Chain A
Amino acid sequence: MDRKIRVLVAKAGLDGHDRGAKVVAASFRDAGFEVIYTGLHQTPEQVVEAAIQEDVDVIAVSLLSGAHMTIFPEVVKLMRDKGADHVLVTGGGIIPPQDMETLGKQGVGKLFGPGSPTADAVEYIREWCAAHPRMV
């Protein structure tokens, strides 16, 4: 049985720019993923809690406030602490390329900057999930 890919789309931190997150969430839904959207102003703890409760394959964090260097590593660390590091942490927003590289080294997946087609994110998640099948 094929299980639908489950994605948590998260707005972490105080950033209120939710246009991108909502467009991405709708695209994921249209691509056939199960999508859970956290809504705004979530702490990394809340994001991780929701991810575990919803048993997702992917956390997609949207950040346009400049807090990415704090929030992404925190989400990754909390997931590790909870033994849930089989979940992909990816995302997008206003994130300078240098920072994307640094975050990549810290265990964050691919990050998508402004202008990225949502189809690229869909494809990336599909490929990642295919390459990382879940042990049941």
Chain B
Amino acid sequence: MKEPAIKTDGQDTQAKDADQAQPHGGPRSQGPSEVERAASEWKHKYEETAKERDDLFETISGNHVEPLYTPTDDADRDYLRDVGFPGEYPYTRGIHQSMYRGRMWTMRQFAGFGTAAQTNERFHYLLEHGQMGLSVAFDVPTLMGFDSDDPKARGEVGMCGVAIDSLADMETLFKGIPLGEITTSMTINGPAAIIWALFLAAAEKQGVPFEKVGGTLQNDAFKEFVAQKCWCFPPRPAVRLVVNTIQYAAQHMPKWNSVSVSGYHIREAGSTAAQELAFTLKDGFTYVEEAIKAGLDVDDFAPRLSFFFNAHMDFFEEIAKYRAARRIWARHLREIYGAKNPRSWQLRFHTQTAGCSLTAQQPENNIVRTAIEALAGVLGGTQSLHTNSMDETLALPSDKAVKIALRTQQIIAHETGVTNVADPLGGSYYVEALTDRLEREAEDYFREIDARGGVVTCIEQGYFQREIHRASYRYQQELEQKKRIIVGVNDYVETDEKIEIPILYIDQQVERDQVAALRKVRETRDNDLVARRMAALTEAAKDESKNLMPYLIDCARAYGTKGEMRKAMAVVFGEHHEAPEF
């Protein structure tokens, strides 16, 4: 085990003091001891005379914040070892040498609702307005691998994402969108391998060879158990499917990101920034270990793993979180897993602004929140970004709200100047101290998770779920006691407020249409062929050494549905149930 090359004094952000920069025309400070003396003097004066408001002075995650950070806070930080340069190990300052001077982040708005045809229309709308890549939101039955005509899907079809049952829906979803040119990100986890098979079959139908298809599969089975709770199979078979997809991408799809290890949902479920960081990276390390166990070389797949983080309202803590994430990933991949390819060390990530920070009250204020969060993502060096729409606490976003959200990114990119320089906040005493602290908190969690038997055991025993629940309950109580203020919610409230933004409604007709379309697919396909391929899938599932991707793709080509594929595997893998706890 490496020793994290950071300070370990437990309370590092307790600024030992503060050096206020020398006044204009004053003498230059002569060295660390002089700075330390001056800083300690300043702190002393502060404690004696400064008046503070009655406030928490904590980050949103509940970490104490000092009134000032100075060079005396980084006594143990070594610039070359811990901070370094953009494009160089440990990548604290960004994974690319030129960052946004070279290339802007990808503006990628998550979208999906109703039927495949409706979402296809939204995709064309977004592409026409300057969006650079697609990101598919699936409805809940799809996220769990149930067909639209399954009794469990009642009322949910097409509601908070698009309903995709078979290859026929995938063909419609990407009609007129060349899958060899536009990259596609798919937020799908439990049944990720199934949905990926349907997608690949659609690409094949467009005549695009697999090696030309670029995009990302979220495919993070662990975080479903930890936070989002849309699982398909129990944790152990779920990990096998993830490893199968990692392996398939490594062998056949050089432009595909096989897993987007996701902290987003962990944060939305109420975690702190440190929990988001630690649980997500630990999930990522566990996939790495499992893939290595399956016989893969770390450098054959690690460059295709990416990450997905939340951008919450605590501006500096979020920026520090992204910087810490890069440094931790680089250190572990190189020092623990022995990766030799620098691309394996580089943590690439997508950011989405925090849905849970938005308010149903005075929803237009959400535009401002989202802009601040998006700016944190950019200052943190994100590779792609989704900005939420102002109306998402009320319903699915309307076209206008989605456009404003996209425009927010364009304003940051083209009007603010923040893209001129890499890691503009690097060297900020505060941001560097927060970065160090988050790295240390994450390392503490890694040790705790290991001591408890690793990620799968922690999931089975409800450890992550309890930690997150505790944090979210504490936060909610702070809101109710008004220790924290949310504008429009517990202060600056407008009691007679009328919501005047248009809301996108999903007609329940969508469910009827989707079920009818699914019936038609079942009537017109070769059902004997489907049955044979499903049987082959079940057989392969019994053999741990088999990669299931080719079997799934065969099922997809024959217009087998996702629910049928799920069932064909569930007879071997079983179902998952979580013990209810609160």
Q: Which residues of A contact B (CB under 8 A)?
A: 9, 13-19, 21-23, 25-27, 29, 35, 37-41, 43, 64-67, 69-71, 74, 94, 96-98, 113-115, 117-119
Which residue of the partner chain, among B155, B160, B360, B506, contacts A113 with CB atoms under 8 Å?
Answer: B360
| B-side contacts of A113, CB under 8 Å | 360, 393-394
The CA of A29 and the CA of B473, in the complex, are separated in Å by: 12
Q: Which residues of chain B from 418 to 437 have any CB-CB distance to chain A below 8 Å in the complex?
A: none
Which residue of the partner chain, among B359, B476, B505, contacts A118 with CB atoms under 8 Å?
Answer: B476
Main secondary structure of the interface of B (DSSP, over half): loop
Which of B144, B154, B224, B505 gathers most chain A CB within 10 Å? Answer: B154
The CA of A7 and the CA of B503, in the complex, are separated in Å by: 32
| B-side contacts of A96, CB under 8 Å | 394-395, 503, 505
Quote the shortest CB–CB distance from B115 to chain A (angstroms).
14
Decide if B140 touches A13 in the complex (CB within 8 Å).
yes
| B153 interface contact, C-beta 8 A | yes
The CA of A21 and the CA of B469, in the complex, are separated in Å by: 10
Q: A19-B472, A66-B506, A71-B155 are in contact. Are A14 and B582 (CB under 8 A)?
A: no
| B509 interface contact, C-beta 8 A | no
The CA of A67 and the CA of B160, in the complex, are separated in Å by: 9
| B-side contacts of A26, CB under 8 Å | 469, 473, 582
Nearest A residue (CB) for B579: A39
Decide if B393 touches A65 in the complex (CB within 8 Å).
no
Q: Which residues of chain B from 266 to 282 have any CB-CB distance to chain A below 8 Å in the complex?
A: 268-270
Quote the shortest CB–CB distance from B514 to chain A (angstroms).
14
| B-side contacts of A69, CB under 8 Å | 155, 508
Decide if A40 touches B156 in the complex (CB within 8 Å).
no
Quote the shortest CB–CB distance from B474 to chain A (angstroms).
10
| B489 interface contact, C-beta 8 A | yes
Decide if B156 touches A119 in the complex (CB within 8 Å).
no
* 26 pairs of residues in contact across A and B, judged by CB atoms under 8 Å: A14-B143, A14-B146, A15-B140, A16-B143, A16-B229, A16-B230, A17-B268, A19-B269, A21-B582, A22-B473, A22-B581, A23-B476, A35-B582, A37-B581, A43-B151, A65-B140, A70-B155, A94-B394, A96-B503, A96-B505, A113-B394, A114-B358, A114-B359, A114-B393, A115-B361, A118-B476
Q: How large is the interface on B (under 10, 10 to 19, 20 to 34, 35 or more residues)?
A: 35 or more
| B152 interface contact, C-beta 8 A | yes
| B-side contacts of A71, CB under 8 Å | 155
| B-side contacts of A21, CB under 8 Å | 582
Decide if A66 touches B156 in the complex (CB within 8 Å).
yes
Decide if A66 touches B160 in the complex (CB within 8 Å).
yes
Quote the shortest CB–CB distance from B501 to chain A (angstroms).
11
Q: A14-B230, A96-B503, A115-B361 are in contact. Are A66 and B396 (CB under 8 A)?
A: yes
Which residue of the partner chain, among B141, B269, B580, contacts A14 with CB atoms under 8 Å?
Answer: B141
The CA of A52 and the CA of B337, in the complex, are separated in Å by: 54
| A-side contacts of B159, CB under 8 Å | 65-67
The CA of A17 and the CA of B264, in the complex, are separated in Å by: 13
- Having A13-B154, A41-B144, A67-B156, one finds 13 other A-B pairs with CB under 8 Å, namely A16-B143, A16-B229, A19-B468, A22-B582, A35-B582, A65-B140, A66-B395, A66-B506, A114-B393, A115-B359, A115-B360, A115-B486, A118-B480
The CA of A96 and the CA of B268, in the complex, are separated in Å by: 20
| B-side contacts of A39, CB under 8 Å | 577-580
The CA of A23 and the CA of B582, in the complex, are separated in Å by: 8
Q: A22-B469, A66-B159, A67-B155 are in contact. Are A119 and B480 (CB under 8 A)?
A: yes
Decide if B270 touches A70 in the complex (CB within 8 Å).
no
The CA of A65 and the CA of B480, in the complex, are separated in Å by: 25
